[in-house]
Amino acid sequence: MAQLWQLSATDIAALIRDGKVSAREAAQAALDRLDAVNGAINAVVDHRPDEVLARADAIDTGRLRGDRQGVLAGVPITVKVNVDQAGFATTNGVTLQRDHIASTNNPVVDNLLKAGAVIVGRTNTPAFSYRWFTSNQIHGETFNPRDRRLTPGGSSGGAAAAVTSGIGHIGHGTDIAGSIRYPAYACGIHGLRPTLGRIPAYNASVPERTIGGQIGAVSGPLARSIADIRLALTAMAARDVRDPWWVPAPLEGPPVTKRAAICVAPDGLETSPEVAVAVRDAGARLESAGWTVEEILASPPLAEASDAQTKLWLADGYAAMVASAEREGDPAAINVLAGHRATADAVDLEGFSKLLVRRATLLREWMMFFESYAVMVMPVSAELPFANHLDMQGEAAFARVWRAQMPQIALPFLGLPGLTVATGLVGSAPVGVQIVSGRYREDLCLAAGEAIEAGGTPPSPIDPVTV
């Protein structure tokens, strides 16, 4: 019989709702699992067991009293250290923010708590959440549970490593250039970057973000099953007036024909053979599930959107970012910014305005594309998960990393949803695909994701590999 920490969030929620398992039992199982494996991966970097158990006890008391229970009542989860959780430091992986103690919760944290979730810990991120690798000078390095030689992904590397190892059933992550989708890919689980405006967010503990951050960054779930992604999205997406970008769009849109496009090399991506096989295999899985699938050779613009997102994210306020990175003294964060100095220097006010104008044109092309197809399946990355810290191995390696990640970087500029679905292993390296759909059609991504998931995924949760 499976242990509690091995079960899905959906199953744990049902057991607690039916009174077959208590929230305290689920929380204690999660804490015990954390104690057993976190030392090997360093995924959770802040947690308070007494508060976790007190929260679980409150859930149990409410259930016995007959209180209305949320969809995640009693489910152990984790949240990322770059969002406000009252009483905890919003470090964002930097020593400069070790004393940024939040007095209120980020809306996504409030929504998770309103849904009854039990937060068992806070997960690691690279300094400033800049990289697809997870290490920093305040919390240390997070390791991939499947292979320590591979990156766990970033910036939600701690979230992905925790979920993969059975620390919590759902992980909260954030994504401005792939920070949910890539850790899910690298660790062999699933991760959803929702449409801009779907899940409310706001950190009162730090200054308002630049416009690039406001229209590019989102919160979203990582989990071991698509059903759990769906459950988490339902909880996270509740209204919160503090986020002016939040949109009251229904979680289920109108029915559409189950027609999917697959594209192995979107916009000239130099896709590796292993990734190409995974994309075509996902197409075959969809066909087996009754979808009409067409392989297309060219996608709507991605490379241009990726370049624009990099500029919008890193050029706006670049000097201040550099100054902060230098004060922090984190070599990896400094390296990321140095690698984009020429890009940032080339963007003036007129150029910045042109980026925002061009955004509407590119998004229109994608929206017209989704009039013909419900979803598009394409690579998450051009390569299998990178060797750890590849981006620190010189200019050529740095450029290789950013070029390979083009399919992820483009979506935040467009504001479209993207779902990583893990499909298998190549040796010890996970592989999977990215499903994209029109704005606020996460339901179509999830429907396609369930069909692909049914064809097999890497085993999880797993005991972390320690050598």
> Distance of CA 43 to CAs 23, 198, 217, 441, Å?
23, 27, 22, 31
Judge whether 437 counts as a catalytic residue. no
- Closest by Cα among 94, 80, 83 to 329: 94
The one catalytic residue in 156, 165, 179, 299 is: 179
The amino acid sitting at 11 is D
The amino acid sitting at 312 is L
Residues 6+ apart with CB under 8 A from 364: none
The amino acid sitting at 14 is A
> What backbone phi and psi angles, to 5 degrees, belong to 194?
-75, 170
DSSP state of 315: T
The one catalytic residue in 8, 155, 165, 324 is: 155
Judge whether 103 counts as a catalytic residue. no
Strands (E), 127-182: 135-136, 140-141, 170-175
442: left (phi over 0), alpha (psi -120 to 50) or beta: alpha
Query: How many other CB atoms sit within 10 Å of the CB of residue 287?
Result: 13
- Closest by Cα among 42, 229, 224, 221 to 145: 42
Judge whether 20 counts as a catalytic residue. no
- Closest by Cα among 180, 79, 165 to 120: 79
Return the biggest CA–CA distance within the chain: 62
* Nearest 10 degrees: Cα torsion 384, 388, 393, 399: 40
Query: How many other CB atoms sit within 10 Å of the CB of residue 66?
Result: 7
Q: What DSSP string runs through 214-242? A: HHH-EEEEEESSHHHHHHHHHHHT---TT
Strands (E), 137-224: 140-141, 170-175, 190-193, 218-223
Residues 6+ apart with CB under 8 A from 294: 259, 260, 261, 262, 373
The one catalytic residue in 80, 129, 324, 460 is: 80
- Give pairs for 101-106: CB < 8 Å, separation 24+: 101/205, 102/203, 102/204, 102/205, 103/204, 103/205, 104/204, 106/201, 106/202, 106/203, 106/219
Mind telling me the catalytic residues? 80, 155, 179
